[in-house]
Structure 1
Amino acid sequence: MTANANKQQYRDEISELIAHYVVNVSDKLDARAERAAKAVLIDSIAVAIVALRHPAAQNARKHAYRFPANSKGCVIWGTQKRAAPELAALANGVLLRCHDYNDFFVGQRNSGHSSDILSGVIAAAEWTNAPGAKLLSAVAVGYEMVGAAFDAFSTAPGGWDYTNLMALGATAAIARLLNLNADQTREAMGMTAIPHFASDEIESGELNRRGDLSMWKRFNGADAVRNSLQACLLAQVGVEAAVRPFVGKCGFMQKMNMKDDPVPVLRERLNPRIPLGRVSEAFMKRWPVGSVAQSAIQAAIDARSRIKDLSRIKHIRVFAEEGAYDHLVKIRQDPWNPISRETADHSLPYIVAAAVLDGTIGVASFTPNVVLNPERQAFIKKVICAPAVELGSHA
C-alpha cells in the first residue's frame, strides 16, 4: 500500500469539514448578528455577576487562587486576581451555570446552553488582546458550530452530555481568535472530541451524601470549555490529536451511537459562504430555572393573575411535554419536598408553586430559607404534574 493510499484511508471527513469552515467563513456580521452577539455577551456577564456568591463559584475561585498568574494571565471575574487562561475559563464558566440562567439553543437533534462557550472565548480574546470586533465574530462562529452540532448529532442514544457538542463550538470560536490554520483547527477539534467524553450521568437526579444534587452540574460546561481552550493552545504549538477523532472505529461517531449520518447536515450548515447569523437563534431565559420550565412559569403567573385569594386554590394541574416531565419530575428524588436550592430549581412542582405564590421567579426564590418555609412546602403539595404527549418535544 502506498503512502498516498494510507493518507487517503485515514482521512476524517468531519474534522476536515469543520476545520475548513472555521478557517474560511467570513468574519463579517450584519446588524442583526452583531446585536445578537453583543446580547449574549451582556446577558452572560449579568448572569455571572448574580452568581458570584454561589457556593460552586466560590469553590471554583478557591481553586483558581491556588495558581496565581502575572499580568499575562486572564482575570478571574469579580476579582482583581488572574490565572492561566484555561483556569480562568473554568472558574469564570462556573458562574454562567450557577443559577441556570444562561441562554439556551435548540437544534434538530440536541439542545443545550450555547453561552457556556463564552468563558473560554473571552479568556482567549483577553490573552491575545483581540479587538472587540474579532471577539464578536468569534462568538458568532462558535454559535454557528454549536447550532450545526445540535442539528447533526444526538447525545441521547449514547448517554452523553450536551457539553460534548457545545465544546465543539467553543473550539471553533477559540481557533478563530488564536488564528489557527486548518491543520491546527483539525487537531484542536480532535483533542476536544476524544479525550473528554462527558457522561449524562450528571443528570441522573440522584442525591449525594449531603442530600443534594452534585455541584458538578455547575462545572460540567466550564470544564468542557476549559478543555476546548487547552486543545487550541496545544494545537497551536504542534500537538497532534487522534488521526480519525470523529469517524474512527472508536471515534466520536461510534460513541454517540447514532444511526443517522451527520455529514449531510454538517455540510449544509457549515457552508462558509453563508453569513454568520445563528447566534440570533439562542433563547434568553426570563427566569433562572431550566429551559423546559419557562413556559410553565408563564402559565402559572397568568393563571395567578385571575385569582384574588390564593388560599382558595385547592389544586394546580400542570401538563408538561414528556422531556420536561422526565427532567423535572420523573427522575427527581421527591420533587414535592425540595430541601435546597439545587433540588428546588430542578422540581417542577416547586417552580410552579413559587410562581403562583410570588407572581414571579428570581434567584431569591431558591434560597434555603424560602424553599424550606413551612407554608410554601405545604402549598407545593397542591401541584399535580402529568406528562402530555400532544405538547411536542420542547416546552
Structure 2
Amino acid sequence: MSNRRTMAEQLADWAHDVRWEDLSEEAMQALKGRMLDSIGCAIGALEGKPVKTIRRMTKDLGGEPLVTLIGGGKTTPDYATLYNGAAVRYLDFNDSYLAKNETGHPSDNIAPVLASAEYADADGRDFLLALALAYQVQCRLSDVAPVRDHGFDHTVQGEYGAAVGAARAMGLNSSQIANAAAIAGTGYNSLRVTRTGELSNWKGLAYPNTAMGAVHAAMLAKYGITGPREVFEGNKGFMDTIAGEFELDWSNENLERVTETIIKRFNAEIHSQSSIEGLLELRDREQIKPEDIKEIRLTTFDVAYNIIGGGEEGGKKLIRYKEEADHSLPYMLAAAYLDGQVMPEQYEPERIKQDDIQQLLQKVDVKPSEEYSDRFPDEMACKIKLETNDGHIFTVEKNDYQGFKTQPAGWDVLMEKYNGLTAKIDSDLAARIADTVKNLENVKISELTELLGQVKIREAE
C-alpha cells in the first residue's frame, strides 16, 4: 500500500482537524439561518403524501429508537435521515448553492448531520461545525467537479459532504472519516434522469436517499469497514469515470461556503426566483387582467432555460402534479400572476388542474440569453415582456431577488417565512424551536431534537 495521502485521506485529515474557532461568526449565523429555514420547510411538508408514505414505511420497519423523527417517534440514524431529509426537501423550498455548472441544495445535509449528532449526543457546536464541513465539501466539489453535463445528479457531490459531516458529527477519527467518504463516494452516484423529462417522487427523495447511505457509510466506518482510498483519483474512480481531472487542496479550505448559499423567497425551483419576483412586480405595477394577456415572454440564463424552461431537460407545459409544476417556469409564472404568490398551496392537485392556470402557462415562452448566461451565477438576470391582446408590451428586468447573495435574507426575513410554514403547529412550540436554533451553539443538540419530536400538525377547523 502506498504511503502517499490520497485526496480522500487529505479531505479526512482536514475535516478531523478543523476546530470551532475556525468557524467565522458570519458562517455560524448563516448556518443557523439555514437550520431555521430548513426546519420550517420540514414542518410545512409533514402532510405531503411522499413524506407521509415514508413515515408509514419507517414505522412498519421499526428500528432501534435512537434518533428523533420530526413530528414524533424515534428510529435508527439512517432511517431518521431518510425521513427527516424527505421532509426538508419535499416542498423544494430549502436553500441552494449556485456553481457555474452545478446547482445543489446543501441544506439537504442537515438531516444526516442532525441524526449523527443526536446519535453521538453531541452539542450544538459539534453539530454546527460538522454541518459547516458538509456544506463546504459539497459546494467546493460543485465548483470544481460538476457532474450534470455528464448525466449525473448533484447529489453526487453531496454524498461526500453528507458522509464527512456525519462522520465528524459522530466524532470519528481521520481514518474513519476517509473510509466514510470513500464508501459513500463509491456507492451513491445517482443519475440525472431524476430531474429530466417526466418527473417523479424521486426528485425530492434522491438526496435523502443519498444522505441515508452516507450516514450508513459513516456507521460502517465507525465499526471498522474500509472503503477505496483512491475513490477520487484512482483507476475508474470519481475523476476517471464521472468528473474528469480537478484539483482541490483540502488543507487550504475554510468553512465559509455556507455564506454564499441562497434562500428561496418563493416555493419554486431556485433558478426561477428572480423571474417570479419580476413578474409579480409587473403585475402589481400594471394591474393587467389575466384574460387580457396574449403572451408572457421570458428571456433568462441558460441553466434556467435548460432545467425548468423547456430546454435540454424536457418540455415544461404538460403539468399534472407537483413534481412537474415546481420544475416548470411556465407553470410557476402562471401561478405567480394568477395568485400573487408561489407557495405550497400553488401545488395542491386541485390548483394544478384548474383551467385558468393550465391556459395561462401555455402563453409563457422561455428563451435563453448568452449575455445573461455569462452573468450567472453572480447574477440571476432575466427580462420579462408581457404582451396584451391589444398589442401593448410591458417590460421588467431583474438581476437578483430578495434572498440572493446580493440581497441576503436576515433573521427577520427567515422568521417570516418560518412562521408561515409552521402556522399549523402550536405557536409556542414553533417559537421555542426557533429560539433554540438561534442559540444552537450554546445547547445540546438533543434539546432541539426533543422539541422537533413534539411537533404535531393541527387538524383544520
TM-score, normalized by length of structure 1? Answer: 0.90
Question: Is the CA contact (8 Å cut-off) linking 1:145 and 1:270 kept in structure 2?
Answer: no
Percent identity, aligned pairs only, is 28
Q: Aligned residue for 1:303?
A: 282
1:44 aligns with 2:38: yes
Unaligned runs of 5+ in 1: 1-5, 207-212
1:74 aligns with 2:54: no
1:7 aligns with 2:2: yes
3-state DSSP of counterpart to 1:240: coil
Matched ranges for 1:376-391 at <5 A: 376-391=357-372
Q: Aligned residue for 2:307?
A: 327
Question: Is the CA contact (8 Å cut-off) linking 1:33 and 1:277 kept in structure 2?
Answer: yes
Q: Aligned residue for 1:156?
A: 148
CA shift, 1:335, in A, is 2.5
Counterpart among 220, 231, 248 of residue 234 in structure 1? 220
Question: Is the CA contact (8 Å cut-off) linking 1:86 and 1:226 kept in structure 2?
Answer: yes
1:370 aligns with 2:351: yes
Q: Aligned residue for 2:403?
A: none
Name the CA shift for 1:36/1:375 in 2 (closer, same or farther; >3 Å).
same
Question: Is the CA contact (8 Å cut-off) linking 1:12 and 1:247 kept in structure 2?
Answer: no
CA shift, 1:239, in A, is 0.4
CA shift, 1:312, in A, is 2.7
Counterpart among 3, 7, 13 of residue 20 in structure 1? 13
CA shift, 1:345, in A, is 1.4
CA shift, 1:184, in A, is 1.1
3-state DSSP of counterpart to 2:150: coil
User: Which runs of 4 or more aligned residues in structure 1 lie more than 3 Å from their structure 2 counterparts after TM superposition?
Assistant: 331-334
Q: Aligned residue for 1:102?
A: 94
Q: Which deviations, in whole Å up to 9, do the C-alpha atoms of 1:312-338 show, x marking residues without a partner?
A: 322211112122111112356653341
How far apart, CA to CA, are the structure 1 residues paired with 2:317 and 2:227? 47
Q: Aligned residue for 1:127?
A: 119
Question: Is the CA contact (8 Å cut-off) linking 2:119 and 2:170 kept in structure 1?
Answer: no
How far apart, CA to CA, are the structure 2 residues paired with 1:238 and 1:337? 50
Name the CA shift for 1:196/1:334 in 2 (closer, same or farther; >3 Å).
closer
3-state DSSP of counterpart to 1:314: strand
How far apart, CA to CA, are the structure 1 residues paired with 2:100 and 2:329? 25
How far apart, CA to CA, are the structure 2 residues paired with 1:130 and 1:90? 20
How far apart, CA to CA, are the structure 1 residues paired with 2:101 and 2:301? 16
How far apart, CA to CA, are the structure 2 residues paired with 1:114 and 1:194? 20
Question: Is the CA contact (8 Å cut-off) linking 2:178 and 2:229 kept in structure 1?
Answer: no
Name the CA shift for 1:334/1:185 in 2 (closer, same or farther; >3 Å).
closer
Question: Is the CA contact (8 Å cut-off) linking 1:15 and 1:245 kept in structure 2?
Answer: yes
Unaligned runs of 5+ in 2: 381-461
Q: Which deviations, in whole Å up to 9, do the C-alpha atoms of 1:219-271 show, x marking residues without a partner?
A: 1000111111111111111101124211111111112142xx322xx21x642
3-state DSSP of counterpart to 2:35: helix
What amino acid maps onto 2:204 in structure 1?
A: R
1:288 aligns with 2:267: yes
Q: Aligned residue for 1:209?
A: none
Q: Which deviations, in whole Å up to 9, do the C-alpha atoms of 1:353-394 show, x marking residues without a partner?
A: 111112221111111111111122222222222222221144
Q: Which deviations, in whole Å up to 9, do the C-alpha atoms of 1:161-203 show, x marking residues without a partner?
A: 1101012111121121112111111111110111222111212
Name the CA shift for 1:386/1:82 in 2 (closer, same or farther; >3 Å).
same
3-state DSSP of counterpart to 2:141: helix
What amino acid maps onto 1:61 in structure 2?
A: R
3-state DSSP of counterpart to 1:357: helix
How far apart, CA to CA, are the structure 2 residues paired with 1:45 and 1:321? 31
Q: Aligned residue for 1:137?
A: 129
Name the CA shift for 1:374/1:66 in 2 (closer, same or farther; >3 Å).
same
Question: Is the CA contact (8 Å cut-off) linking 2:203 and 2:323 kept in structure 1?
Answer: no
What amino acid maps onto 1:365 in structure 2?
A: Q
How far apart, CA to CA, are the structure 2 residues paired with 1:390 and 1:152? 23
Q: Aligned residue for 1:262?
A: 246
How far apart, CA to CA, are the structure 1 residues paired with 2:64 and 2:219? 18
Q: Aligned residue for 2:405?
A: none
3-state DSSP of counterpart to 2:2: helix
3-state DSSP of counterpart to 2:297: strand
